[in-house]
Structure 1
Amino acid sequence: MRILLAEDEKELSNALTAILKHNNYSVDAVYNGADALDYGQSENYDIIILDIMMPKMNGLKVLSNLREKGISTPVLLLTAKTEIEDRILGLDTGADDYLGKPFAMGELLARVRAMTRRKAEFTPNVITLGNIRLNKETYELSKDKIALRLSNKEFQMLEMLMNNHKRLISTELFMERIWGYDSEAEISVVWVYISYLRKKLESLEADVKIKAVRGVGYTLEEDK
């Protein structure tokens, strides 16, 4: 799950980024409205979190421009303004939810989870393929009564593969969705994590395997 965070207060942005990543979200952080618009237009995000008061372009203008371009990514507005008129304006501009500062981190996470559920209409907490299950609440990969805890990156990669089984996912897409545009990680890190996942699938005697198409990407298929 990928989030664009646009918040000009660096200390708050760093705190939010750390908490979101700890909860297995991938985050791209920007600090002004112009960058938020540029990144948001990529449509490579599951949620956009926008502060209203930002330099270069305020969050409402960013939101308005995104909606005018037909981009329907769910948007959560953050603002120090709490008057009812401001809330109405934000929602009428196209926001999906609104959170006034200061706020509890737990409430932010709950609202993000609610928005992702609405976007997908319904997504089960447990994804099943073949004889394995991936629990999105505990980040565990299991078969029968045996469960293995996955790391943040392992979980996100396997979630992508299981949600798109039989579809090729390129190395570049893994890098964009999980490590982010500004990551300094080498592209070979994808192969390393694919190796980790293969070993865990083998240890569970899973009847699904990660298959590679040289120069194209990876796919998860049932081993029939």
Structure 2
Amino acid sequence: MKVLLIEDELELASALCAALERHGLVVDHVGSLADAEEAAQSGDHDAVLLDRALPDGEGLGLIPILRLRRPGVPIIVLTARGEMSDRVAGLDLGADDYLAKPFAVEELLARVRAVRRRPVTMITEPVRLGRLQYDLTNDEAQVGDRRLDLPRRELRVLVTLMRRRGRTVLRSALEDAVYGFDDDIQSNTLDAHISRLRRKLVEASAGVEIHAIRGVGYLIRAAP
């Protein structure tokens, strides 16, 4: 799962990023409304964690913009302003949930899972190809009835390819989906992830193949 964290308190943001990444999430962090609008244009985040008090304005003002660009993306407001009127304002503007600071990371993760299960997020049925299926709600891959355990970056490669199965996915799009803004990406790192993923899919008899399109990107399709 890839989330966009919009939080201007650097110490808190750093701690949150580290905690979320330990739980297998990929995190993009920005600290202002302007940077958040730019980050949201990529359209590849599975959830948004939004602080209210940002240096260039009220975070709630970003919700209508996010809703226009990504109608189904779950938005959880994180704020020190936890009065009933504040919560009502956030929910009325379109937030899916509202979490007052301080909070436990475990509670935040539970709320992210909960909002992703709601019908309003437009999460679809599992994506299937060959014997492989990817459950978008639970962020899990399976071959037949057996779960396929993958490191988070290999899982991000897989879900990005599965969402566009049969079509070429640009290398840059894969890198955007797999890595956060601050990650140091070596030239052959993505290829290494895909090589390991290919081997695991073959070992699991998933019935799919990942093909490299020279100079362009990769695609996944059912094995002949």
**Aligned-residue offset at 1:93:** 2.0
Aligned match of 1:120: 122
Give the whole-Å Cα distance in 2 for the aligned partners of 1:92 and 1:138.
28
Q: For 1:38, what is the secondary structure of its paired residue?
A: helix
Check whether the contact 1:170–1:217 (CA below 8 A) recurs between aligned residues.
yes
**Aligned-residue offset at 1:52:** 0.7
In terms of mean alpha carbon deviation, does 209-218 or 40-49 score higher?
Answer: 40-49
Please give the per-residue CA displacement for 1:33-75, whole angstroms capped at 9, x wherever unaligned: 33223322443322211111121222123334545x5553332
**Aligned-residue offset at 1:134:** 5.4
TM norm structure 2: 0.84
Q: Aligned residues, how many?
A: 220
In terms of mean alpha carbon deviation, does 32-41 or 80-89 score higher?
Answer: 32-41
Aligned match of 2:168: 168
Matches within 5 A, 1:125-140: 128-133=128-133
- Which residue identity is paired with 2:219? T
- Shift in CA distance, 38/205, structure 1 to aligned 2, threshold 3 Å: closer
In terms of mean alpha carbon deviation, does 136-145 or 15-24 score higher?
Answer: 136-145
Check whether the contact 1:24–1:156 (CA below 8 A) recurs between aligned residues.
no
**Aligned-residue offset at 1:79:** 0.9
Matches within 5 A, 1:191-206: 191-206=191-206
Q: For 2:53, what is the secondary structure of its paired residue?
A: coil
In terms of mean alpha carbon deviation, does 99-108 or 136-145 score higher?
Answer: 136-145
Matches within 5 A, 1:83-162: 83-118=83-118, 119-124=121-126, 128-133=128-133, 142=143, 149-162=149-162
Give the whole-Å Cα distance in 2 for the aligned partners of 1:44 and 1:169.
13
Aligned match of 1:20: 20
**Aligned-residue offset at 1:83:** 1.1
- Shift in CA distance, 59/189, structure 1 to aligned 2, threshold 3 Å: same
Check whether the contact 1:49–1:75 (CA below 8 A) recurs between aligned residues.
yes
Aligned match of 1:184: 184
Check whether the contact 2:212–2:219 (CA below 8 A) recurs between aligned residues.
yes
Give the whole-Å Cα distance in 2 for the aligned partners of 1:217 and 1:104.
39
- Shift in CA distance, 122/206, structure 1 to aligned 2, threshold 3 Å: closer
- Which residue identity is paired with 2:193? Y
Give the whole-Å Cα distance in 2 for the aligned partners of 1:52 and 1:60.
6
TM norm structure 1: 0.84
- Shift in CA distance, 165/65, structure 1 to aligned 2, threshold 3 Å: closer
Give the whole-Å Cα distance in 2 for the aligned partners of 1:198 and 1:76.
35
- Which residue identity is paired with 1:152? R
Check whether the contact 2:207–2:223 (CA below 8 A) recurs between aligned residues.
yes
Aligned match of 1:210: 210
Give the whole-Å Cα distance in 2 for the aligned partners of 1:46 and 1:138.
10
**Aligned-residue offset at 1:123:** 4.4
Check whether the contact 1:175–1:187 (CA below 8 A) recurs between aligned residues.
no
Check whether the contact 2:29–2:181 (CA below 8 A) recurs between aligned residues.
no
Gaps of 5+ in 1: none
Give the whole-Å Cα distance in 1 for the aligned partners of 2:69 and 2:152.
32
CA RMSD of superposed structures (Å): 2.6
**Aligned-residue offset at 1:140:** 6.3
